[in-house]
Amino acid sequence: MFVEPSHKRENQYPRTGWIEVICGSMFSGKTEELIRRLNRAKIARQKIQIFKPALDKRYHDENIVSHNDNSIRSTPVISAFEITGLAENCEVVGLDEAQFFDEGIVEACTSLADSGKRVIVAGLDMDFLGKPFGCMPQLMAIAEYVTKVHAICMVCGEVASHSYRLSPSNERVLLGETDLYEARCRRCFNLGDNA
């Protein structure tokens, strides 16, 4: 009986895709890690496409920019629905600030991974109240790989996993950086203004 060489058999199957989620509090290095992974894909000559929510213009209208001022070009989108069409001809898809995308982001990431793409998603896992943020819990559940990064507590210096809001605003989405937020450990976050 004839058996095809394994390298020919592999070509019968489409490339396997997957989802990677990078999560954590503000100032924990999520975007920095996303940029690092995307730059490595570029070095490997993989075709990449990067997206961010159009509402996030804190540092730049188009680029994804980390708190360390590293940046990479991205395409701002209003709806997660736009992503699957725009990412059609690439191998690696990067998404920053995933918590700000609409509910369609889970379906978009699943569709991209099912079509053989590597999907790298970065976002806040919790909001300023310490509650799961947007579609991040669903994305973490369906991902093959989840990396939780941590910041340093601005009060005591311990490992921080919470984003403490310095403003009295109760809006769930309030874009800002060190003027409105600081990273805190669980204890200092729970102590609030008394920390």
CB 162 within 8 A of CB 183: yes
pLDDT at residue number 103: 93
Q: Which one of the listed residues 82, 97, 144, 158 is annotated catalytic?
A: 97
pLDDT at residue number 72: 74
% of the chain residues with pLDDT over 90: 69
- Asked whether the predicted pLDDT for residue 2 surpasses 50, the reply is no
Of 107, 81, 90, which is closest to residue 45 (Cα–Cα)?
90
Residue 109, class by beta-carbon neighbours within 10 Å (0-12 exposed, 13-18 middle, 19+ buried)?
Answer: buried
Q: CATH for 16-150?
A: 3.40.50.300
Domain ranges (residues) in the chain: 16-150
Is 97 annotated in the active site? yes
Per residue in 154-182, pLDDT (tens digit) is: 999 999 999 999 887 777 776 666 678 89
- Asked whether the predicted pLDDT for residue 35 surpasses 70, the reply is yes
pLDDT at residue number 186: 97
- Asked whether the predicted pLDDT for residue 28 surpasses 90, the reply is yes
CB 147 within 8 A of CB 65: no
Per residue in 67-125, pLDDT (tens digit) is: 666 667 889 999 999 999 999 999 999 999 999 999 999 999 999 999 999 999 999 99
Q: From its phi and psi, is residue 37 left (phi > 0), alpha (psi between -120 and 50) or beta? A: alpha
pLDDT band at 4 (very low <50, low <70, confident <90, very high): very low
What is this structure's pTM?
A: 0.85
